[in-house]
Amino acid sequence: MSPISETERGDVTDTSRPADWPAQRLTEARGIVADFVHHPDSLIILACRAIATLSPEEQERREALALAGLLICLSNRKPKGGAA
């Protein structure tokens, strides 16, 4: 799993976005990961990708990617409906 690329981020000039939107998204992503019990795995994975892209701290980026990878591995092992 890799951080979100420049083209995926949508780095285009958009006057409707406030200048501090990356900091707001990072704060929101950190909140989702901190309260992971109340969020679906798919949202936590997206939050981890946001952290891995926007965080200035190398350790936090690595941990976010590791958590996302773990959740993806676990979701591949879960049965997808039906009787177990």
Per-residue tens of pLDDT for the chain, all 84 residues: 666 665 555 555 556 777 899 999 999 999 999 999 999 999 999 999 999 999 999 999 999 999 999 999 988 876 766 555
Burial class (CB in 10 A: 0-12, 13-18, 19+), 32: middle
Q: What pLDDT does residue 38 have?
A: 95
For residues 20 and 1, give the distance between their C-alpha atoms in angstroms, rounded to a whole number: 26
How is the chain split into domains, by residue range? 21-77
The DSSP letter of residue 81 is S
Continuous H helices in 1-84: 6-9, 21-34, 41-54, 58-77
For the entire predicted model, the pTM comes to 0.71
Query: Is the Cβ–Cβ distance between 58 and 3 less than 8 Å?
Result: no
